[in-house]
C-alpha cells in the first residue's frame, strides 16, 4: 500500500490521537488533507521497505510482507515484516549502550559494552526463521484482536552475534535458574517510562541453545533500527516475540519470567482445545514455545496464468519451529491427492528450508496450488484453520495460490 492511500484510510479521529489533540471541525477537513504533524513519516522510505509491503498499523508501526515478496532464500530487509509493541527508541548512543545481565539467578551482575561483547566472545552467524505468533490471525472467527496478519509475518534473515549462552555463563548461572527475560529500550505507547511495551523470554533450555544469539548484525550489516539496532536477541523457531529488539538487559530468573506480555492471553493459548469464542481461566493458558510446521509458496504470485501444456515450476520455504521439515507436498485438487515437492535441508538448524516442484496440469481451467509441509515428528499442516484461541495465534493452515491454465 502506498503512503497516500494509507493516510487516506486513516480517519480524522485517528489523526487526532496521533497528534494528541482534538481536531476541531474535523468533519470539515478537506478530503486528502493531512495534518502537518503527519506529513513526514513515509514508512516505506523510513524503514527501507518494498512498496508492496502492507501497513497494518502506524502507532505502533506494523507492516507485513506478501508471499511473493518472501521469495529470496535469505529475506532482505526490504521484505521483512515489522512488529512493534511500542515506539522505536528515539536516540541510540552506541558508545554508551550496555547490555546488563542480572536477575535472581545470576552469580554476579555484569554489564558489557557493545565493543566488549564483540571482542570477548566468539561470533556466530545463523539463518534463523522468526515468525510472529499471530501470523495468520486474520482468518480466525470470532475475530481476534490485534494486528490482522495474513501470511506475511515471517522472515528468515542471516544473524550474526554472540551466543546468549556464552554471555550468561560468563556472568554465571545459578542452579535454580529456570528462565531468562529480556528488557529493551523501546518506549511504551503511553510514554510512561515506568512501563515496558514488552518484556518476554524463554526457558533456560532454549536460552542455552547454540543458535540463540545476541545479535548485532543482520544480513552482514548493522541491524536496521526498526529491527532492533544495535542489539537484539534472536531465538529462531519460537514466537518472534521472544526475539527482543533494542536489547539492553537480560535477567536470569528463578521463576518463569513475569515481564510485560508474559501473562493473560498474550502469546499464550488454551492448554486444551476450546470452542470458538469460549472464555477460559488464566490457569488454563499455556505459553507458546516452538512454532508449528508451516510453508509458503513464494513463486509464482497468486493469480499466475500459464499456457496449456506448459509446466509450472513453483517454489517456496517451509519451517517447523524447533523441528525440521521432512516432507513437502503439493495438491492441485483441493487436497484430494498430493504429490511430492523436493525439499532442501536447512542451512543450519532453525533456518527455513527451500522447496520446489514442477507441476503439469491435466487440462485448462482454474486451479489452486496448495502446499503442505510435514515435520520430523510426522505432524503436517492442517488444510484448514487449526484450533481457535482468544488471540488468534498459531494459524499454520496450508498456503494456496490461484493459477489459471489457458
Ligand X SMILES: Nc1nc2c(c(=O)[nH]1)N[C@H]1C(S)=C(S)[C@@H](COP(=O)(O)O)O[C@H]1N2
Of 113-132, which residues contact ligand X (CB under 6 A)?
132
83/217 with CB nearer Mo ion: 83
- Asked if the bond preceding 60 is cis, omega within 30° of 0, the reply is yes
Q: Are 161 and 215 in contact (CB under 8 A)?
A: yes
From the CB of 228, what's the least distance to ligand X, in Å? 6
Of 80, 151, 250, 291, which lies in the binding site for ligand X, with binding defined by CB under 6 A? 80
Residue 351, binding choice from Mo ion, ligand X, none, Cβ under 5 to 8 Å by partner class: none
From the CB of 357, what's the least distance to ligand X, in Å? 28
Q: Is 227 in the site for Mo ion (CB under 5 A)?
A: no
Residues in the chain: 406
Q: Are 147 and 108 in contact (CB under 8 A)?
A: no
Give the DSSP letter of residue 364. S
Furthest CA-CA distance within the chain: 70
Would you give the binding string for Mo ion spanning residues 24-63, x where CB under 5 A is met?
Answer: ----------------------------------------
Distance, in Å, from the CA atom of 401 to the CA atom of 206, rounded to the nearest integer, reads: 35
Would you give the binding string for ligand X spanning residues 182-211, x where CB under 6 A is met?
Answer: --x-x----------xx-------------
Terminal CA-CA length for the chain: 30
Q: Is 137 in the site for Mo ion (CB under 5 A)?
A: no
In three-state secondary structure terms, 167 is helix
Of 236, 237, 244, 321, which lies in the binding site for ligand X, with binding defined by CB under 6 A? 244
In three-state secondary structure terms, 386 is coil
Q: Is 132 in the site for Mo ion (CB under 5 A)?
A: yes
Residue 61, binding choice from Mo ion, ligand X, none, Cβ under 5 to 8 Å by partner class: none
Report DSSP letters for 53-86, one per residue. Answer: -EEEEETTEEEE--GGGG-SSS--GGG--EE-SS
CA torsion angle 204 208 209 213 (round to 10):
110
Residue 198, binding choice from Mo ion, ligand X, none, Cβ under 5 to 8 Å by partner class: ligand X
Q: Is 245 in the site for ligand X (CB under 6 A)?
A: yes
Q: Are 379 and 295 in contact (CB under 8 A)?
A: no
103/239 with CB nearer ligand X: 239
From the CB of 143, what's the least distance to ligand X, in Å? 19
> Which residues contact Mo ion by CB under 5 A?
83, 132, 240-241
> Which residues contact ligand X by CB under 6 A?
80-86, 132, 184, 186, 197-198, 227, 240-241, 243-246
Amino acid at each position: 500500500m502506498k503512503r497516500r492511500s494509507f493516510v487516506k484510510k486513516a480517519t480524522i479521529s485517528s489523526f487526532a490521537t496521533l497528534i494528541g489533540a482534538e481536531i476541531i471541525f474535523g468533519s470539515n477537513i478537506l478530503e486528502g488533507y493531512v495534518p502537518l504533524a503527519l506529513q513526514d513519516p513515509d514508512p516505506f522510505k523510513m524503514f527501507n521497505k518494498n512498496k508492496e509491503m502492507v501497513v497494518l498499523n502506524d502507532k505502533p508501526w506494523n507492516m507485513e510482507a506478501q508471499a511473493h515478496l518472501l521469495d529470496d532464500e535469505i529475506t532482505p530487509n526490504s521484505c521483512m515484516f515489522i512488529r512493534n509493541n511500542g515506539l522505536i527508541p528515539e536516540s541510540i548512543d552506541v558508545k554508551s549502550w550496555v547490555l546488563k545481565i542480572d536477575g535472581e539467578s545470576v552469580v554476579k551482575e555484569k554489564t558489557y559494552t557493545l565493543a566488549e561483547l564483540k571482542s570477548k566472545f566468539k561470533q556466530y552467524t545463523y539463518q534463523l526463521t522468526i515468525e510472529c505468533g499471530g501470523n495468520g490471525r486474520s482468518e480466525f472467527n470470532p475475530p481476534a484482536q490485534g494486528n490482522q496478519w495474513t501470511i506475511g509475518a515471517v522472515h528468515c534473515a542471516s544473524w550474526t552475534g554472540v551466543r546468549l549462552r556464552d554471555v550468561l555463563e560468563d556472568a554465571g548461572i545459578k542452579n535454580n535458574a529456570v528462565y531468562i527475560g529480556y528488557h529493551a529500550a523501546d518506549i511504551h505507547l503511553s510514554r510512561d517510562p515506568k512501563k515496558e511495551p514488552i518484556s518476554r523470554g524463554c526457558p533456560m533450555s532454549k536460552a542455552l541453545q547454540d543458535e540463540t544469539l545476541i545479535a548485532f548484525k543482520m544480513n552482514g550489516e548493522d541491524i536496521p533500527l526498526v529491527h532492533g539496532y544495535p542489539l537484539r536477541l534472536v531465538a529462531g523457531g519460537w514466537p518472534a516475540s521472544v526475539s527482543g529488539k533494542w536489547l539492553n538487559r537480560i535477567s536470569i530468573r528463578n521463576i518463569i519470567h513475569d515481564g510485560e506480555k508474559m501473562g493473560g492471553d498474550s502469546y499464550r493459548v488454551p492448554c486444551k482445545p476450546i470452542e470458538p469464542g469460549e472464555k477460559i481461566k488464566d490457569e488454563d493458558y499455556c505459553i507458546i514455545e516452538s512454532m508449528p510446521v508451516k510453508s509458503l509458496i513464494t513463486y509464482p504470485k497468486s493469480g499466475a496464468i500459464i499456457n496449456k501444456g506448459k509446466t509450472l515450476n513453483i517454489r517456496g520455504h517451509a519451517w517447523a519451529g524447533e523441528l525440521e521439515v521432512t516432507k513437502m507436498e503439493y495438491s492441485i485438487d483441493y487436497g484430494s491427492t498430493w504429490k511430492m515437492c523436493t525439499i532442501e535441508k536447512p542451512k543450519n538448524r532453525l533456518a527455513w528450508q527451500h522447496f520446489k516442484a514442477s507441476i503439469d496440469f491435466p487440462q485448462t481451467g482454474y486451479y489452486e496450488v496448495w502446499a503442505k509441509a510435514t515435520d520430523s515428528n510426522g505432524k503436517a499442516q492442517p488444510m484448514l484453520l487449526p484450533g481457535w484461541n482468544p488471540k488468534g495465534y498459531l494459524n499454520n493452515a496450508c498456503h494456496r495460490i490461484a493459477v489459471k491454465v489457458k
